[in-house]
């Protein structure tokens, strides 16, 4: 079943969180690096991260995809696996 479209759309940004009528969608942070403006946007449902580097006042911007939040997890290496307790009587 499809949802009925609402007559009014709600889209508000508070403390960097983008809130719509269906809930919180993403988090955005913008900061300045010298003459450039850097924006990072994280989609909270999919974990996808996007970035934008721009030169304010010129209309020039470069958009790109950043590695997802899954790429930040600890790899499954042997030294991270749980080792058996050496004091058990097996």
Q: Checking phi first, is residue 57 left (phi over 0); if not, alpha (psi -120 to 50) or beta?
A: left
Torsion sign across C-alpha atoms 16, 54, 59, 69: negative
Strands 23-33 and 36-43: antiparallel
CA distance 20 to 45: 13
pTM beyond 0.85: the answer is no
**Would you state the pLDDT for residue 16?**
86
The 10s digit of each residue's pLDDT in 47-87 is: 888 999 999 989 899 999 988 666 666 666 666 566 666 67
Strands 17-20 and 36-43: unpaired
């Amino acid at each position: 079943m499809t949802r009925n479209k609402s007559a009014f759309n709600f889209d508000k940004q508070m403390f960097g969180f983008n809130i719509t009528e269906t809930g919180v969608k993403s988090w955005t942070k913008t900061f300045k690096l010298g003459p450039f403006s850097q924006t990072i946007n994280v989609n909270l449902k999919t974990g996808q991260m996007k970035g934008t580097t721009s030169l304010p006042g010129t209309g020039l911007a470069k958009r790109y995809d950043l590695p997802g939040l899954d790429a930040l997890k600890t790899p499954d290496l042997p030294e991270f696996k749980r080792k058996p307790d050496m004091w058990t009587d097996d």
